[in-house]
Chain A
Amino acid sequence: MQDEEFIQGFIEEAIGHLDTVESEIVQMDTAGTNAESINNIFRAVHSIKGTSSFFDFKNIVVLSHALENVFGEARSGKLEINEELIDILLSSNDCLRAMVNDVANSESVDISALMGRLSRVLQGTSSEKNELPKASEQSSGSFSCSSLEWEEARRSRIASEIERGCRLYLLKRRLYGDFIGKGESLLALLKELESFGSVIDCSVDLDRLEEDIHIEVLFTTVLEMDILPPLLTEPKEAISELRIVGKAAETQHGEAERNVEPAAAGYSQSAPDEAERSSQQSKWQNVSVEDSIRVNITLLNSLLNVASEMVLARNQLLRTMQPHRKAIPGIEAILQNVDHITTNLQEKVMQTRMQPVSNVFSKFPRIIRELAKKMGKDIQLVLGGSEVELDKSIIEALYDPLTHLVRNSIDHGMELPEERIALGKPRTGTLSLKAYHESGYVYIDVIDDGKGIDLERIKVKALENALIGKADLTLMTDQEVLQLIFRPGFSTSEKITDISGRGVGMDVVKTNIEKLGGKIEIFTVQKAGTTIRLLLPLTLAIIPSLIVEVEKQKFALPQINIQEIVRIKANDPSRKIEYINNSEVLRLRGRLLPIIHLADVLGLERTYMDRVMGVRKHEKRKNLFDIRRSGPAEALESDQAKDLEEERREYGFGYIIRILVIKIGSRRLGLAVDTIHESEEILVKTLPAYVKDCKCYSGVTILGDGKTALILDPSGIIEKANLHYSEGQDEKRAIEREQEKLNMYEYQSVLLFKCSGPETLALDMSMISRVEEIRPDEIERIGDKEFIQFRGQVLRVIRPESFLPLNREKRERDKYFVIIPKLVKHPIGILIEEIKDTVQAHIDIAEDDGIKAKGLVGSSIICGSIVLLINIYELFEMASPEHYKIETDAKLTEKITILLAEDTPFFQRMEKDYFENAGYRVIVAREGKEALELLKDRQIDVVVSDINMPVMNGLELVKRIRSDSRLCSLPVIAVTSLTGEKQKNEGLEAGFDAYEYKLDRSRLLEVVDRVIRDRRRNV
């Protein structure tokens, strides 16, 4: 009976129950008691008691029994659950958990103290309930059904079974006498019962433990009483039918069952209870529909491996069959099918490892409660995005770092209640844990509204602990100072508590998060709070990477580190590599970027293809663009216009150089490679121990072509390349950053693409979440609409040519692309046929070009050709008016004039459209000064301003407005494409009423509306 496997099953199940109990108890503490949660706890404790008694874990049985009693009392309203009781309950739960985790030694655990406390609690209530077990003892000769006493839900389940025409039976057996003694298994019996009915409950009659363990199995089946004994090979007397007639239950023997009666009385309860019961009933049905089984994790892992191999095999098959696709009839369809199924299989297998973040989050209510109590702080916890899923291994590895961050926030960040009140903050501090998806990663924010991180204290501590020299410190920016807390041996806590402040931790947190392939960021505002943000990959095993090539060898570079890709042509004077001694640097938006050749770091010999000789030669030039005086270079000069593509192939990086801009923390470098291949979702395998000394790699993967490739580790590369990021180098960082922003402003990045017609369309990159490649057979038609499956969800796709005045051509393509938009409430994919390029360009929108139509912002000339800029919101509005039509109150909006200060013509046009369509009158200013002039002599109701503008920026503008007595109450809203807490707070401090993302139309309109109303109310 003491079978390892069964016990393991029991432990897993019991831990699940204990988790339920814990979270419910903690919830009770904050949200007060309710019948539902008491029932949940009761059920959980009861199950633990039931199962543990099978294995004869007496201590667990005794303690869970006592807990059960307490909750029984609480349920019947005889016991009030207060703070003190919750403490006792939590420690009992901990004790149970400890025993369950180490069942073998559970008998040696001393539970007498806890039992004493629990029984004192119980003695406080009337003792009549305690007599109940005795009652069942008296009636032990007959069939008593103690399990029926229990929870409502089980009863309603019985009710539903009976409604379906099932009968309710009770089977009573002795564990040793009837099963173990005879070499039979209870499990087999239960399985048999499940095969033709359902087992409602299986419990142990605890009051008759002396001679043998008496087991009661309550089950329902449609079978008649007569055929059960022979079918189950159990004696007739052992089975009895329980009948629920109207208000009372009787056994078939006609004896009025004392113990069943009170339970059954529940069926006659009044109407409100009826509703509650039916809701519980549906809950139970939900539970029974969602079948799940336990699977060993190693099995899942090997399944994952097999699935990945399957993908590789599929790729090889497709490649090998490519030339024969036409020759073998029917093979095309088969290959497509195999392709599809394999992709599906891999996705499904990956899904099996995904778990909701709530698995970690659920531990925090308890932690917060205890820490808050210990430190005399008043803290409420807000959880968000608990449903966001991450790979199991990541979820598990998150617990410690998150706990540490939460502890730090409470210990260092949160003020004491009195301090908070003195500061004019609400007495109760708020700590939020939020998980959400963003650009292919999962973000987890730990946000507190405490006092923020004191930079001066960090500096002092860093000096005290000799982490950094004084000279360096003066040169550091705020963000860099913040990064100091991740240094080993750093602690700012005044006194070392057992909660935090031991100086181990933040560095460990950082290492752990980085080990998972993630990043950590801190934002803090003095007196307002701190946000610590974790960026995590969805799965540990699979990361999106860019495949790059040097010297004929492919490497994978994780995309999280890549900021941008720069392509430099040899004869482009505006962008060229320059030299400082022998080091190569690139001017990138006003800053110098160190350039490292991947080949050099890896110790590969750089070669180039000698056109004359037709062989690869050792690259001797230091300067990549040194013109070679001999043949090839001259040949190139004269042939230049000939065929760029061919040239590229032959000369490798010699004439076009590709630089990956990599950013780790505040360190940036340009990594020069020969070729950039596609991006691939790669399966990460650990680096074999034999090459662990290579700093440049973080793992190995197997590419689509079946070859292994090494995964590059950018921080290792920085180390290997001996890059010294001196702090002084960043002296002008802040100014430069500002400049960079401005530059980014003038230049917009847009995606250029084509639909079926010849027109080139453009969409601003900031509106695109991602672009997916799909095959035509993935597009499914339902009615007159088209849909695809995207990440397990149905996504409607639209063809822009159906709504916009574009040419349409009927043409079969073997692949399409779908643009997945960002920041829209009801995502619709945009189906396009060809991606032309992504460009950074200054976009001037042509006026009076005659192309203006709904759904288009206008036209512009990009790279010498006419490009139509799409207005994504208008397009969606045409495609799906029910979701995108903005209803505005015409009466409210028509008399309102908005002054829009915006320098980028594209956004200017776009935002103007938003507002005009909503009915507002719009006056446009190109920058702050112009806006101020306009404010002097025009009647303006609202100002919507960009932040970064030439001449006078938005912050300056709002400060001027606020300091002008005539304008100071004018609503001013900031719109920007840079969203960050820090900027936002800066903006709000400067005097903006709201701070919004400029491309989120519905939100922008909402905010404008709200701000106007607010201001009116105040006036």
Chain B
Amino acid sequence: MKEKLLTFFIGDCYFGINVTLVKEINRRVDWTPVPGAKPYVTGFFNMRGQVVTLFDLRVVLGLEGDRRQPGTACIIMKIPKDPNQVGFLIDRPGDVIEVESDEFEVPPANVGPVEGEFINNIVKLKEELLIVLNTEKMFSEHGSIDN
């Protein structure tokens, strides 16, 4: 079983998500902040007439770094049942890589429970570790918190 992962960078971290979950990647996004919203909401973005809510993964995953730094691109997710379009800013898109299922490993014990919640697997690449995210859980959980 091979799985295709779309990889991207936020800060120094290397992430991947299942490529089938991705609707599109947008470069040069012109988003509008939402004052008063939860900190993990970066803002809204007009994707051809549809309003996309952009998340800040730095906040969601508790990453270090300046949150104000505008991302250079954004990944828009394909969430079939949800009428709300969601996406998140990334610093730089990577390649699409194929990973054998036996290369996946569950997050090691010292990954904190909060961050670990949204991590599906870790892939041990030759040079580095790739964190595979559970985006579905990420977005649905945050949606429900608000409701």
Tell yes or no: A718 within 8 A of B by CB: no
Q: CB distance A602 to B36 under 8 Å?
A: yes
A692 touching B84, Cβ below 8 Å: no
Residue of B nearest to A705 (CB): B30
Residues on the B chain within 8 Å of A708, using CB: 31-32, 43-46, 51
Q: Which residue of B lies closest to A695 (CB)?
A: B36
Contact with A along B3-45 (1 / 0, CB 8 A): 0000000000000000000000000001111111110010111
Asked if A690 contacts B86 (CB within 8 A), the reply is yes
Q: Is the CB of A602 within 8 A of B48?
A: no
User: A706 interface residue, CB < 8 Å from B?
Assistant: yes
Main secondary structure, interface of B, reads mixed
In the complex, the answer to whether B51 meets A685 with C-beta atoms within 8 Å is: yes
- B49 interface contact, C-beta 8 A: yes
Q: Which residue of A lies closest to B48 (CB)?
A: A309
- In the complex the two chains form, is A691's CB within 8 Å of B38's CB? yes
Classify the secondary structure of A's interface with B.
mixed
- The answer to whether the Cβ of B137 comes within 8 Å of any Cβ in the partner chain is no
Q: What interface size band does chain A fall in?
A: 20 to 34
B45, closest chain A residue (CB)? A708
Interface residues of A in 299-349 (CB under 8 A from B): 305-306, 308-309, 312
Measured between beta carbons, the chain A residues less than 8 angstroms from B38 are 690-691, 693
**Hey, which chain A residues are within 8 Å of B34, CB to CB?**
691, 694, 697, 710
- Please give, as numbers and ranges, the residues of chain B lying within 8 Å of A465 by CB-CB distance: none
Q: Which residues of A contact B147 (CB under 8 A)?
A: 689, 692
CA distance A48 to B85 in the complex (A): 44
Determine which of A553, A685, A694, A720 lies in contact with B32 in the assembled complex, contact meaning CB atoms within 8 Å: A553
| A604 interfacial contact with B, CB 8 Å | yes
Which chain A residues lie closer than 8 Å to B53 at the CB level? 688, 690-691
Does B124 sit at the interface, judged by CB under 8 A?
A: no
Tell me if A795 is interfacial: C-beta within 8 Å of chain B: no
- A688–B49 CB distance below 8 A: no
Which B residue sits closest to A702, measured CB to CB? B46
B49 and A305 contacting across the interface, CB-CB below 8 Å = yes
Q: A707 an interface residue at 8 Å Cβ cutoff?
A: yes
Q: How far is the CA of A693 from the CA of B144 in the complex (A)?
A: 11
Chain A residues within an 8 Å CB radius of B55: 690
Q: Which of A671-701 contact B (CB under 8 A)?
A: 685, 688-697, 700
Interface residue A603 (Cβ < 8 Å from any Cβ of B)? yes
Given contacts A690-B41, A694-B34, contact A707 B46 (CB under 8 A): yes
Interface members, chain A 389-406 (any B CB < 8 Å): none
CB of B146 within 8 A of chain A? yes
Q: Whole-angstrom distance between the alpha carbons of A690 and B36 in the complex?
A: 12
Contact B31 A694 (CB under 8 A): no
Q: Does A994 make an interface contact (CB < 8 A)?
A: no
User: Which one, B30, B35, B85, contacts A707 given CB within 8 A?
Assistant: B30
Partner of A602, one of B35, B41, B50, B143: B35
Within 8 A of B (CB), among A590-648: 602-604
Contact for A553 among B30, B35, B85, CB less than 8 A: B35
**From B37, B43, B48, B49, contact of A694 by CB (8 A):** B37
Contacts of A308 in B (CB 8 A): 49
In Å, the complex CA distance between A692 and B35 comes to 12
B34 to A, closest residue via Cβ? A691
The residues of B that contact A720 with a CB separation of less than 8 Å are 36
Closest to A690 in B: B53
Contact between A691 and B49 (Cβ–Cβ < 8 Å)? no
Residues of A within 8 A of B46 (CB): 312, 702, 706-708
Complex alpha-carbon distance, A694 and B34, angstroms: 9
Residues of B close to A771: CB separation below 8 A: none
Residues of B within 8 A of A709 (CB): 32
B63 to chain A, nearest CB (A): 19
Nearest CB in chain B: distance from A342 CB, A:
14
Q: How far is it, in angstroms, between the C-alpha of A308 and the C-alpha of B51 when the chains are bound?
A: 13
Residues of A within 8 A of B30 (CB): 706-707
CA distance A695 to B35 in the complex (A): 11
Question: A691–B51 contact, CB under 8 A?
Answer: no
Closest 8 CB pairs of A and B: A602-B35, A309-B49, A708-B44, A688-B53, A691-B37, A688-B84, A694-B36, A708-B32
Query: Which residues of B approach A to under 8 Å, CB–CB?
Result: 30-38, 41, 43-46, 48-51, 53, 55, 84-86, 142-143, 146-147
Interchain residue pairs with CB less than 8 A apart (10): A309-B48, A553-B33, A602-B36, A604-B35, A690-B41, A690-B53, A692-B147, A700-B44, A700-B51, A707-B32
Other 8 A-B pairs with CB < 8 A, given A700-B51, A706-B30:
A312-B46, A553-B33, A604-B35, A689-B146, A692-B147, A696-B36, A702-B49, A710-B32
